[in-house]
A = this chain, B = another copy of it.
Amino acid sequence: MRTYFLGIDGGGSKCRASLCTEDGHIVGRGIAGTANPFQSVSRTIESITASVAAALGDAGLAESHLQGTHAGVGLAGVNLPALYRKIADWPHGFASMHLTTDLEIACYGAHNGPDGAVIVAGTGSGAFVSVNGQRRIYGAHGFSFGDTASGAWLGHQAVRAVLVANDGLGPSTALSEALEEIVGGCGVTMVERMMTSTPRDFARLAPTVFDAAGADDAVATAIVGEGAAYLDRTAERLWEHDPPRMSLLGGLRELYASYLSPATLERLSPPAAEPDAGALLYVRTKVLGDDGPVAGPSAGSTG
């Protein structure tokens, strides 16, 4: 049986799987829905399974090939030992599974190897630095306890601000009209419509918050400014570890750029590749001890 490698990048919005051959050529890709163990371990496993099935299908390979496939899986929340164990104990059927945080595989991708620093600002947020085998995570406490500056945090802060404004207990904001239109109601109707909202649902409001900040709405500007200041502080902490490179990743990378301090911006390097390529590099490094980049036509521009 031939040996394959799977790189799996789970996130609050999507789960991406990339399949490559032993010599590093990508032969299949698959995408599935949300894979965030903080929200649901069972849903995460479903999304991983679906993305892997899609990647196998894309490569024209039968499911039986999983037995010869080594998987590198990066997920939010597995910095928590209990969540790590739940995923690690899953009877996955791979030849081997190498599980780590979404942050570490993002770092592998961004810097084409283990060493460097990354700040992720997407649906969730977190940061990671690795220098000569010394690794440290900042944040990554999930939506309930952290995720400051993330899309989910921005959207949630905006909803809170709109509800307070609606009661005359906080400043008026252009976010009120914008969110009422998206959510389809204000006050208790807004609360009702968002009662079962996930971090992903809140994150969908993030571009609206940046739009309002761009139009000089004071409340939106304060929210975005608080997020940017948190990212600046995070960048400072990471830089103290003296990483060879540092990158800002995630869906909000471009939107935050004009709000970050010059000190942060001048230290940022563009990521070499996306996290799913990082997951492949991670698993190949673990299995083959191969620190080189993943070959293939799109290793530098996946996703």
Contact = CB atoms under 8 A, between A and B. Distances in A.
A30 interface: no
Interface residues of A, number: 29
A239 B188 CA distance: 22
A194 interface: yes
B233 A138 contact: no
A234 interface: yes
Contact of A138 (B139, B169, B234): B169
A160 B194 CA distance: 22
Contacts of A237: 167-169
A191 interface: yes
A157 to B, nearest CB: 11
A15 to B, nearest CB: 22
Interface stretch (A75-83, A262-270, A285-293): A75-83
Interface in A135-159: 138-139, 141-142, 144-146, 148, 159
A164 B148 contact: yes
A177 interface: no
Interface of A: 79-82, 138-139, 141-142, 144-146, 148, 159-160, 163-164, 167-170, 188, 191-192, 194-195, 230, 233-234, 237
Given A80-B192, A168-B237, 6 more contacts: A81-B192, A138-B167, A144-B195, A145-B160, A145-B191, A148-B164
